[in-house]
Structure 1
Amino acid sequence: MDAREKTRIQQAFKEKIDYDELMNCTRCGFCLPTCPTYIETGRNEVHSPRGRIALMKGLVDGLIEPSEEVKQSIDMCLGCRACEPVCPSGVKFGRLLEQARDAIYQSHHRSLPEKIMKGIFFKNLFPYQNRMIGLTGLLGFYQRSGTQKLAQAIGIMKLFPESMQAMEKVLPQVPKMKEMKQRPRHIPPLTKERKQRVAFFSGCLMDTMFMHTNDATIQLLQYAGCEIVVPETQSCCGALHGHSGELDQAREMAKRNIAAFEDAAVDYIITNAGGCGAFLVEYDHLLKDDPEWNGRAQAFCAKIKDVTKILIELDFHKLPLRLENQIVTYQDSCHLRNGQKTFIEPRQLLEAIDGVTFIEMKDADRCCGSAGIYNIVQSEMSMQILDYKMEQATKTKATTIVTANPGCLLQMKLGIEREGLSENMEAVHIVDYLLAAYEQANFEEAATKVISSR
């Protein structure tokens, strides 16, 4: 970094960082055992929450200068927020991290690859669902046309890093473009009585690459007695932007989503992706300095609820649920647990399934290493964290790893592939798992009635 760049970053830290939040840190160290990067770097204080806060404060106070080492420390943070629930002072570290990245990335000289990636994906792809459908449609063509098998057979994928080779194998089968464009906007309940009227936040990746999981979510809500509306003008939640130092773009998407859901007249806004939900529920903080939008953001945030939470509230777990002879373990979505405080409900749902033995994984609440695009930009540390996670998952002897976030799902699929366990273990999103359990139990019940009537 040259002198001018250092000056810009220093000034940005003074303007963007919440100094009062920095001062809330008492350096007690309760956060240290919860931080994956602190543990995986051999307990290096620089890569701990209180170490990063000390760096932020030093930059604001002018006691240290911006450097590549400081940037590396901020970059290496997963943003999992595991430090927040254990902090006796209630430090909102996730917010400080976003502010620090905003200060750094809006002030430093960006490399050409970084400019291209953020320009293409963050500015011109994720905010526009039609473009997401188009790009995902190309991926679907690659999978269905035989091009994928050809690329694997002739060894093209060997030109890419090992983690990307494995990731290419575990990507879900993408629906056709026609299917992605035919999203229904109003879905009635499949019960005699309507229990709730809800809106569904369908997301960008979730409604393209993981569209079948979105469909499963809607079916579960129907079986639980919900009338569902899916606002057409909703957009990407902005989490990837916010976590990557693009807070201005994140604010624009927040405003678009608030406006999209305001006229829906619903009891709740339901999410099925932990990362999206945790970002949506903090739109009020994101827009705290905007008097026109802050009140509207607060009303929006009050309605956000994860699908597992509403299923428990509507007694879905008391319905017939069954799968045959499976051992299941659960990997927490960091943001669902630490951001939305939802971790008991997924376990209650899994434990309610007949024929399933639920085994708690050691450190299920520790990050799997996905963290948005972390497994791409910090691949080595991500794989190190994943190796530990797979070690714990394997010890449970589970046939299925269940999680509640698309990034976590792909990361666990990647771990299974890397460990050569694909024939003995699978990873699934919790709503897909619950729908399979509901359908099997009700198919068996219907079959029993038919036999009894003869």
Structure 2
Amino acid sequence: MTTAREREAIQHDFQTKMNEDELLNCMRCGFCLPACPTYIESGMQEKYSPRGRIALMKAVKDGLIEPDEEVERSLDLCLGCRACEPVCPSGVKYGELLEDARDIINQNKKHSLPVRMLRKGVLDGLFPHQNRMINVSSLLGMYQRSGLSKVARKIGFMELFPESMATMEKVLPSVPKRKEMKHRLRHFEPDIVKKATVAFFTGCLMDTMFLETNQSTITLLQKVGCEVVVPEGQLCCGALHGHSGEKEKAKQMAKQNIEAFEQVQADYIITNAGGCGAFLIGYDHLLKDEPEWADRAKSFVSKLKDISAILVDLDFHHQHLRLPDQIVTYQDSCHLRNVMRTFDEPRTLLKAIGGVTFKEMEGADRCCGSAGIYNIVEPDMSMQILDHKMEHVKETKAATIVTANPGCLLQMKLGIEREGLTGRIRAVHIVDLLLEALN
């Protein structure tokens, strides 16, 4: 609960820091309403819509209401999927407004001691340090390989956790050994005549828990004629910090990543995680007020490309691709679709695979409820969204659900487990499926 002094400080910063022009840009037309998952799932409550949240921000800025718990709750319940942006006729940059508002509230609010310790441990002590990410992930790998995971389930230890977290533990990928994560090549030659030099953004979770998917990404890039460089010194994109009201920390991480990639004279910077890509492509906005970094951030952003986009550009879909006959459907990564505006390319690649019948899922462009750590901090709304998503999955009769983001992948695996469909439906990252089809 915020104190009167905290509310006063929050209101002051809303008045001085929130973008007045962007708030006024919202015409209140309501085009965003049917695109917003929380508006729909909450029974169409206006305060849980993009239009409603912008109205609350504007009211706080104008001093019409206090930034109380109800305002904060409205902002917290937002998935940040940004599905409202492509449908907005005024082009309101809702994602930027949301992050600015969350940052102001977080910087002026004193969290409880347990929350402060958790935020400091995770946001300061873990994600900005890839070596620590490797160490923590390797412990998870030991837990899996030692058989402790089976024992924990058998004795009912996992029942001490919320149902969604207990189920998530079952669907986590097999984590590679520490040596595999720690010692890796940094340079890869193309398999055919060189067409481009690309710098690969490996990410934090992608380069630990999903290391195999990163390796698959590099292999596919080699197959289409890319020289691949993995810059040293890169780290987490900063999305978790930016979405959690830690903008200054996100800026520090952005600067380190820009410096790391400036060391490579690459034609493109490639990502394979929609959530990372969307935050990376916002570095120019994040650093727009810092003269030393603004142009460097623009240069960085200009080279960004999702893996599916470069594969289509370099005609990967014209190669001989084959899988056993099956129906495949695709779940969009919200940020890949709504921010990076990449949605046709994954579908082009999937439709090019022999033996695959591609079936579009109803609401494929709607968030699955993962949204970073949303499924942990807002499990009720997340599972409500996921349950409706799985209804649409079952309607396709697909054997394979394809995603382009680690959070989405885990969420769809979670949905499969919750529906009792394990063994009948699988969820897979698009690059792993493409490599499977190529081999």
Q: If the TM-score is normalised by the length of the shorter chain, which range does it land in?
A: over 0.9
Letter in 1 for 2:54: I
Question: 1:342 maps to which residue?
Answer: 342
Question: 1:196 maps to which residue?
Answer: 196
Q: Distance in 1 between matches of 2:170 and 2:38?
A: 27
Deviations 1:377-397, CA, capped at 9 Å, x for gaps: 111000000001000011000
8 Å CA contact retained: 2:334, 2:367? yes
Deviations 1:342-396, CA, capped at 9 Å, x for gaps: 0000000000000011000001000000000100111100000000100001100
Question: 1:175 maps to which residue?
Answer: 176
Q: Distance in 2 between matches of 1:309 and 1:387?
A: 30
Deviations 1:253-288, CA, capped at 9 Å, x for gaps: 000000000120010000000000011011010000
Q: Secondary structure at the match of 2:108?
A: coil
Deviations 1:205-262, CA, capped at 9 Å, x for gaps: 0000100000000000011110000001001000011011110000000000000001
1:278 is aligned to 2:278: yes
The normalised TM-score by structure 2 is 0.99
Question: 2:185 maps to which residue?
Answer: 184
Q: Distance in 2 between matches of 1:141 and 1:318?
A: 41
1:403 is aligned to 2:403: yes
Give the 5 Å matches for 1:11-410: 11-191=12-192, 193-410=193-410
Letter in 2 for 1:147: L
| Shift in Å, 1:313 | 0.2
* Matched-pair identity in %: 67
Q: Distance in 1 between matches of 2:127 and 2:196?
A: 30
Deviations 1:142-196, CA, capped at 9 Å, x for gaps: 00011111111111101111101110000000000000011211000111x0011
Q: Secondary structure at the match of 2:254?
A: helix
Q: Distance in 1 between matches of 2:153 and 2:347?
A: 38
8 Å CA contact retained: 2:231, 2:263? no
Structure 2: gaps (5+ residues): none
| Shift in Å, 1:2 | 1.9
Q: Secondary structure at the match of 1:356?
A: strand
Letter in 2 for 1:234: Q
Letter in 1 for 2:113: L
Q: Secondary structure at the match of 1:288?
A: coil
Q: Distance in 2 between matches of 1:145 and 1:12?
A: 51
Letter in 1 for 2:237: C
| Shift in Å, 1:19 | 1.2
Deviations 1:393-420, CA, capped at 9 Å, x for gaps: 1100000100000000000000000000
Greater CA drift, 10-19 or 253-262: 10-19
Q: Secondary structure at the match of 1:278?
A: helix
Letter in 2 for 1:159: L
| Shift in Å, 1:116 | 1.8
Q: Distance in 2 between matches of 1:283 and 1:179?
A: 30
Q: Secondary structure at the match of 1:235?
A: coil
Q: Distance in 2 between matches of 1:41 and 1:76?
A: 10
CA RMSD across the alignment: 0.6
Q: Secondary structure at the match of 1:28?
A: coil
Deviations 1:15-72, CA, capped at 9 Å, x for gaps: 3311110010000000000000000000000000000000000010000001111100
Letter in 1 for 2:312: I
The normalised TM-score by structure 1 is 0.96
Q: Distance in 2 between matches of 1:231 and 1:294?
A: 21
| Shift in Å, 1:423 | 1.6
| Shift in Å, 1:118 | 1.1
Q: Secondary structure at the match of 1:197?
A: strand
Q: Distance in 1 between matches of 2:16 and 2:325?
A: 57
Q: Distance in 1 between matches of 2:243 and 2:23?
A: 18
Letter in 2 for 1:28: C
| Shift in Å, 1:309 | 0.1
Letter in 2 for 1:73: S
Q: Distance in 2 between matches of 1:381 and 1:278?
A: 23
Q: Distance in 2 between matches of 1:113 and 1:348?
A: 47
Structure 1: gaps (5+ residues): 440-454
Question: 1:442 maps to which residue?
Answer: none
| Shift in Å, 1:81 | 0.3
| Shift in Å, 1:112 | 2.3
Q: Distance in 1 between matches of 2:353 and 2:114?
A: 47
1:416 is aligned to 2:416: yes
Q: Secondary structure at the match of 1:292?
A: helix
Letter in 2 for 1:246: E
| Shift in Å, 1:334 | 0.2
| Shift in Å, 1:113 | 2.7
Runs of 4+ in 1 over 4 A off after TM superposition: none
Question: 1:451 maps to which residue?
Answer: none
Letter in 1 for 2:147: G
Question: 1:2 maps to which residue?
Answer: 3
| Shift in Å, 1:335 | 0.2
Q: Distance in 2 between matches of 1:252 and 1:334?
A: 25
Q: Distance in 2 between matches of 1:254 and 1:15?
A: 24
Q: Distance in 1 between matches of 2:118 and 2:189?
A: 40
Q: Distance in 1 between matches of 2:288 and 2:401?
A: 38
8 Å CA contact retained: 2:287, 2:293? yes
Deviations 1:425-454, CA, capped at 9 Å, x for gaps: 010000000000001xxxxxxxxxxxxxxx
Question: 1:448 maps to which residue?
Answer: none
Letter in 1 for 2:318: K
